[in-house]
Amino acid sequence: MQVLATQQEQYPDARHHCWAYLLGAPAKPLSLASNDDGEPSGTAGKPMLNVLQHNDIGDVMVVISRYFGGIKLGAGGLVRAYSRATAMALEQLQTHTFIPRIPIHLTVSFKDEQFVRHIVEQHQGNIDACQYSDTVLLSVSVPKVTAVAFKQHIQMVTINDESK
């Protein structure tokens, strides 16, 4: 709703701030909602939400601020206008795939460091931080779906796992 509030502050003289959002994975959203903000019922928010649902994009919100230009569009015209504006916005949207990750902290010996780094890479993990002292402290993050396999792999091979 902060996105909506920002839009309303940026365009305070717009007559309507219609919106739709889809939160979570596109195929199984955790939450979705829409609002016509004074437009005739079902002519703005629902068409916007429909466009969001038919694209492979999650965790997205669209707000369209509309000024009245003196021409009445009618219900069909409003549906087409809001649908097309949403589709045009999505065409310009830069997206990235969100992969939930689990942070894991490992203490490894110097001799095992390169091997552990290789295991992190095999499990599509990231090395977030590395500190050297008498041992090597690695802070890594691995995809949630591979976390159990990663921990098992590490335990078979090494060391002192200080997982959170």
Stretch (H or E) spanning 11: none
**Do the domains 2-92 and 101-161 sit in the same CATH topology, yes or no?**
no
DSSP letter at 138 equals E
Counting DSSP H helices and E strands in the chain, the numbers are: 5, 7
- φ and ψ at residue 133, rounded to 5 degrees: -145, -130
CATH class of 101-161: alpha beta
Going by C-beta distance under 8 Å and a sequence separation of 6 or more, which residues neighbour residue 19? 3, 4, 34, 35, 37, 45, 48, 61, 62, 63, 64
Question: Could you list the pLDDT tens digit for every one of the 164 residues in the chain?
Answer: 888 889 899 989 999 999 999 999 888 899 999 999 989 999 999 999 999 999 988 999 999 999 877 777 888 899 999 999 999 999 999 888 888 999 999 999 998 899 999 999 999 999 999 999 999 999 999 999 999 999 989 888 764 444 43
Superfamily of 2-92 according to CATH: Impact, N-terminal domain (3.30.230.30)
* pTM listed for this prediction: 0.66
Domain limits, the chain = 2-92, 101-161
